[in-house]
Amino acid sequence: MATASQASLLLQKQLKDLSKNPVDGFSAGLVDDSNIFEWSVTVIGPPDTLYDGGYFNAIMSFPPNYPNSPPTVRFTSEMWHPNVYPDGRVCISILHAPGDDPNGYELASERWTPVHTVESIVLSIISMLSSPNDESPANVEAAKDWRERRDDFKKKVRRIVRRSQEML
């Protein structure tokens, strides 16, 4: 039980730090005030990218042994990106369990370490929106569009950006 209470204290501190010192490009809060382990995050599409001006909502779910294990992040807004599974789950190295990659794609240093914070995770997601990695895609169709049909990819992203703005 000690780990869950330590995780809870750490998450409370990170939430407090973010409310005192907001970071450009996203906002975060709790889905339900009684559960520090489920956060609602809004990522603002980074300027000068295809996602510019979009408002994308996601849920961050933290395990009871956080920060020893990474949270999961799932977009609840529509998202078209090579590194986001069709169900909205984000697939980036720092959200993968610590240690060696069983598939041999990532170095252990690229994977989760307990020094990551909510801020560093969301900044990595913003960076992912700026530069997709189509080498090991979570969404094969989006990666194909990105590589082979860039105009189609751009159209789909413009549509989801527009829809995200209409949801405001």
Q: CA-to-CA distance for 70 and 91, rounded, in angstroms?
A: 12
Backbone angles phi, psi at 57, to 5 degrees: -90, 145
CA neighbours within 13 Å on the CB side: how many for 56? 30
Comparing C-alpha atoms, which of 119, 117, 132 is closest to residue 51? 132
Helix H or strand E encompassing 69: none
- Which amino acid is it at 8? S
Q: Is 91 among the catalytic positions? A: yes
Q: Which of 7, 43, 50, 91 is flagged as catalytic?
A: 91
Catalytic residues: 91
